[in-house]
Amino acid sequence: MAGGPHEAPRTAVPSRCGNCAIRGYSPCGGLRDLHSLDRLDRSQAASRFVASGSAVFGQGDAATSSFTVLTGWIALSDTLADGRTVILHFALPGDVVPLEFIGDRSSRTAFAIDDATVCAISRARHDILRHEDALYADRYLAAVARELHLAYDHFVNIALSSAGERVIKLLWELAIRNLRRRPATGETILLPLTQTQISLSTGMTPVHVSRTLARLRKDRLVDFKNHRMTVLNVAAVERLAGISEDTMALWLGAMMRGPDQWIGDH
């Protein structure tokens, strides 16, 4: 840990959010040009600061807006009537917070993992854009399809894997989506998660997450401590995690170029 951890270097992109005056937020995570489309009425979108731990929206709230993460991490979660909670998904800068947009109230909660800013687009405007702008519609559909793919992958992970596999897959996914490349051995990556949040998204108890991380440290795969993951052995991690090329491409966002090609098809 000589040089200390470094922020994920994000590729600078020409597009920016005119409203929010924040740039470089979205290399190709989903609605890459969501906020720079000419049709977007600037008065309709607004950036919003969300303090660490506080909610963007909660279960039962009116689902009036679509959100894109500009900075920080947003967790999408579901809490049952008896209080049991799961984290369904982590939305990183550039990602759309995956709203299912079914019915008029949200069935999930979105909260900030660390201090975050999000860009909101009203649902009415979102619907107009979808109908008037084919590119926007394509990108939005692609974003939802990506979330579906990630959700299925997550499901596979939790259904089949042992504790060690679940944790390492989650950490590896988040590292790659954050860095936008495969980490190198020896590298330290900032992942603003707590062990409790890892437990919520892997369906384990916090104590068992702690033991599992201790095991991963002892086996010299990764060392997760204080919101920082140090990669000790890339090969061993990838052997345990068993990540396919397709999955890697999905995390890197490379496949998101698909829809553009389809448009040109006919």
CA diameter of the chain:
55
In the numeric block, which tokens belong to residue 224?
């997760």
The CA-based angle 17-143-83, given to 5 degrees, is: 100
Range in contact with DNA (rule: CB under 7 A) among 30-38, 93-101, 109-117, 203-211: 203-211
The CB-of-61 to a copy of itself minimum distance in angstroms stands at 13
The alpha carbon of 100 is separated from its chain's Cα centroid by a whole number of angstroms, namely 15
Which residues in 97-136 contact DNA (CB under 7 A)? none
Nearer to a copy of itself, 218 or 266 (CB): 266
Locus of tokens 């990764």: 222
- Under rule CB under 7 A, residue 208 binds DNA: yes
Q: How far apart are CA 4 and CA 138, in angstroms?
A: 40
* Residue 225 half-sphere exposure toward CB, CA atoms < 13 A: 11
Identify the three-state secondary structure at position 262: helix
Q: Of 125 and 166, which CB lies nearer to DNA in the complex structure?
A: 166
Q: Binding of DNA at residue 194 (CB under 7 A)?
A: yes
Q: How many CB atoms lie within 10 A of CB 216?
A: 23
Residue 163 contacts DNA per CB under 7 A: yes
Rg of the chain, C-alpha, whole Å: 18
162 binds, among a copy of itself, DNA, none (CB under 5 to 8 A by kind): DNA
**117 interface partner picked from a copy of itself, DNA, none, CB below 5 to 8 A per type:** none
Nearer to a copy of itself, 51 or 263 (CB): 263
CB of 31 within 8 A of CB of 68? yes
User: Which residues are at the interface with a copy of itself (CB under 8 A)?
Assistant: 78, 80-82, 84, 86, 88, 98, 100-105, 107-108, 123-124, 127-128, 130-131, 134, 137, 140-142, 144-149, 151-152, 154-156, 158-160, 202-203, 242, 244, 246, 249-250, 255-256, 258, 262-263, 265-266
Q: Which does residue 208 touch among a copy of itself, DNA, none (CB within 5 to 8 A, set by kind)?
A: DNA
Four-point Cα dihedral 241, 247, 251, 256, nearest 10: 180
Residue 94 to residue 232: CA distance in whole angstroms: 28
Residue 247's SS3 state is helix
**Nearest-approach distance from CB 59 to a copy of itself, in angstroms:** 9
- For DNA, the closer of residues 107 and 194 by Cβ is 194
Q: Does 62 bind DNA (CB under 7 A)?
A: no
Q: Which two tokens stand for residue 17?
A: 């959010």
Instruction: Specify the stretch interacting with DNA by CB under 7 A; choose among 39-47, 123-131, 141-149, 157-165.
Output: 157-165
> Which residue, 201 or 212, is less far from DNA as judged by CB?
212
Structure tokens at 244: 């396919």
- 207 near DNA, judged by CB under 7 A: yes
**Where on the chain is the footprint of DNA (CB under 7 A)?**
162-164, 194-196, 203-208, 210-214, 225
